[in-house]
Amino acid sequence: MSGENRLDVIAKQKGQKSPVSGNPAFDQIELHRMGRRQAEVLEEKDGSVVATVREKLSPDGNELIATTVSQGHPDQVSVWTRTGGAKVARDLFAGEWTEDLSKTLLRQGLVLKIESDPGGAVHFIGDFSYTARFDGKQYDLVNSRNDTVTLERVDAHTVDCLYRRDDQITQKDRWVVSADGQQMTVTTTGTLEDGQRLNEKLVFRKQ
């Protein structure tokens, strides 16, 4: 963020505390995504919340309304209008993905279909299926050797998946989409039911 002052901070969407340097008003923030178009930022100083900023993006992606709430002060509402740059990026993971046989020989012919909805849910269909959100909760799997999955969006190009069986983490997947959005690499590590270690790297092309 650049204006009268500059603020550089990297924050995850799941409410983890992220340090902020060079700002006398607060020294850490918590970022909570409230869906595709809303977010809440808690500004904290010495471990206490000093302000809450609620941000809402218009349906066309061209207007951002930020409401700042702090104790002892009237609410401050700022309206920002987009004047340049790209609008809200599409979900790079959404679409139908076919295994690139020129880059991997494992599990030939595998096709993945990933859909996202406005509520922030992901619908995954492959050799198993599920519907889940990026909220740290466990969601049931269908036709899988594992029981549940937990999703974390690391950034616009990276998603981490944790799979559990009998309440134990048995598999970790990382999806990474290329800069042009046309290639996805899925790296899998885990343990099968018989104790055998699982290590895979599959490359997919968007159809």
pLDDT given at position 177: 94
- The 3-state DSSP class for residue 200 equals strand
Domain boundaries, the chain: 14-81, 95-206
Alpha-carbon span 137 to 22, nearest angstrom: 34
Structure tokens at 153: 């969006």
- What is the distance of C-alpha 137 from the center of its chain? 13
The predicted model scores a pTM of: 0.57
Q: Tens-of-pLDDT digits for all 207 residues of the chain?
A: 655 666 677 777 677 788 888 788 889 999 888 877 888 999 999 989 999 999 998 877 788 999 999 988 899 999 988 776 554 456 889 999 999 988 876 766 789 999 987 777 899 999 899 999 988 899 999 999 999 999 998 888 999 999 999 999 999 999 999 988 899 999 999 998 888 998 999 999 998
pLDDT given at position 66: 92
- Report the top-level CATH class of 95-206: mainly beta
- Cβ 200 vs Cβ 188: under 8 Å: yes
Structure tokens at 122: 């992901």
Residue 13: exposure state from Cβ atoms within 10 A (0-12, 13-18, ≥19): middle
pLDDT given at position 87: 47
pLDDT given at position 15: 74
Contacts of 168 (CB under 8 A, 6+ apart): none
pLDDT given at position 88: 43
pLDDT given at position 1: 63
